Amino acid sequence: MKLTTLAIGLTCCFGSTLVLSAAPINVSSSGNVIGDDVLYSIGGGNAVTMGSAGNMDSISVGGGWNNNLVCGNMSLNHTLENQLNGATSGFKNIMSSVVQNATGAVASLPALILQRANPALYNLITNGILQARLDFDRSKGTCRAIGDRMADIAGNQMGWGKLAEGQAMSQTLASNSDAVSAVEQVEKKGGNDGVTWVGGDRAGGSGQKPIRIVGDVTKAGYNLLNKRATGDTSSISKDTCSNGMVCNVWSSPQEATAFANRVLGEQQQQTCDNCPKTVTAAGVGLTPLIQETYDVKLKALKEMLTGNKSLSAENLEAASSSSLPITRGVVAALKDERDQDVLARRLASEVALSEVLEKALMLQRTLLAGSREPNVAANDLAVQAVDQQSSSLQQEIGNLKIELDMRQQLAKNSPMTIIERGKARTESSRGVLPGGPETDRLNQLQSPAKSKP
């Protein structure tokens, strides 16, 4: 009967342990087995906040941000007609008394006949054309000035279009010395020719690939750090990596780009007409990646603790990170630990945090290298965008560090003080009071007092 009762108790105990192994780190899931001093000395539960998140959707903006505010669509002929017909001010205000007569004369007589037939009227029309031309140039200059001002305010939305227009102007002037004709050609082209981008290729224009700042710069940085051409897309095996920093983290530019887009999102720019100038996709940050890595590391560690897998170098590497390796001694000590569940989960969370932070720091280095690519470095808009993404990544890393330090400090503050004071009271109650200096004191108290003589 006693053996049966003991077996039932052991079965319930082991059954509860198996159920608890799949639960998150918290005091209630660990019951009375967890040592409070262990829980608070390691900083509580998980190292940092973790949670899952999906990929974010892309958002298109900038459909109305034309590269030159369609100033090139201004028509001189239409301007002259409106000036002479009185639809707009200018010549009408100067010569309002003869506009109607001039309109009828122009409609019926050529300019030469008009000069001979009515020199005064011809002079009036000539002055009107000059006045219309001045108003046209002034209006177009005002439109350009507004466009330049909007480019300063709108930043990336119009700055890339202005850059494309400037590069188109330089290419046109190289083959056409006629200033008026060159300006007309550039206005017709707009930003359809795109801009010079990574590797010297044109991008962002009509029929060209979009400018993907995060992806293209990450890809260029990956290849530059591995001494390859910026447009190389091939993978790098472990044998040819030669202990390289970047190729040990990501085996191909596509993997590095996928990690960068998952964390930072993407900022896509285009300069062509009738296309969205900016398309953005928000990143999910580092927290979901820590959760995903934590699940993988905890599973690998549990398999070794339960004996399903041996303590081989490959299995230990699967549960480790480059900056925080898990050794055989750590796993052996965890097997004999009564607080195995909590400590294993905490260890897996710290390994996941270190691995993701290692990739984040490597991404920073990759973005820095990519921003040094000549075509990117010569583009202030691209450099500013890369710096902004790098700053966002640095802020994410700093937030994780602050959270980790804060959790450790809070867990070691009041909870540890309460536990230590409780232990002190317990130890004091177990102590034995020292005996009196007099021997046989009890017998003396029990014996009657001697009467004085």
The predicted-structure confidence for 235-291, as pLDDT tens digits, reads as follows 999 888 877 789 989 999 999 999 999 999 999 998 888 888 888 888 999 999 999
Amino acid 2: pLDDT: 39
The contacts of residue 101 (CB under 8 Å, 6+ apart) are 121
Instruction: Flag whether 428 is in a domain.
Output: no
Residue 362 lies in a domain: yes
pLDDT of 432 strictly over 50? yes
Give residue 24's pLDDT.
44
Looking at the structure, tell me whether residues 48 and 76 fall in a common domain.
no
pTM: 0.67
Question: Is residue 443 one of the residues assigned to a domain?
Answer: no
Q: Which of 161, 196, 231 is the last residue of a domain?
A: 196
Q: Are 154 and 65 in contact (CB under 8 A)?
A: yes
So what's the pLDDT on residue 67? 44
* Dihedral angle, C-alpha 42, 45, 46, 49, nearest 10 °: -120
Residues 401 and 296 in one domain: yes
| Boundary-marking domain end, from 137, 165, 196 | 196
pLDDT score at 359: 94
* Alpha carbon distance 261, 281 (integer Å): 8
Same domain, 45 and 147: no
In a domain, 434, yes or no: no
The pLDDT tens digits for 164-197 are: 877 887 777 777 666 667 777 777 777 888 999 9
What's the pLDDT band for 394 if we cut at 50, 70, 90?
A: very high
Q: How many independent structural domains does the chain possess?
A: 2
**CA angle 405-56-286, nearest 5°?**
20
What pLDDT score was predicted for residue 312? 92
> Is 231 inside a domain boundary?
no
User: Does a structural domain hold residue 210?
Assistant: no
| Residues 303, 412 share a domain | yes
Instruction: Note the pLDDT of residue 13.
Output: 39
Q: How many residues does the chain have?
A: 453
Q: What are phi and psi of 269, to 5 degrees?
A: -120, 145
pLDDT digits (tens, 9 = 90+) for 103-116: 555 555 566 676 77
Domain that holds residue 302: 35-54+287-416
- Decide which of 181, 196, 211 is a domain's last residue: 196
Please give the residue that has the higher pLDDT: either 314 or 71: 314
Would you say residue 59 lies in a domain? no
**94 pLDDT above the threshold of 80:** no
State whether 190 and 310 are in the same domain: no
Whether residue 293 is found in the same domain as residue 409: yes
Which comes out higher in pLDDT, residue 78 or 426? 426
pLDDT of residue 61: 46
pLDDT at 83: 58
Whether 435 is in a domain gets the answer no
In percent, the amount of the chain with pLDDT more than 90 equals 29
Say whether both 82 and 180 belong to one domain. Answer: yes
Residues 319 and 412 in one domain: yes
pLDDT reported for residue 5: 40
Percentage of the chain beyond pLDDT 70 is: 60
**365-387 burial: b if 16+ Cβ within 10 Å, else e:** ebbebbbebebbeebebbeebbe
pLDDT digits (tens, 9 = 90+) for 338-389: 878 888 888 899 899 999 999 999 999 999 999 999 999 999 889 999 999 9
Judge if 118 and 191 occupy the same domain.
yes
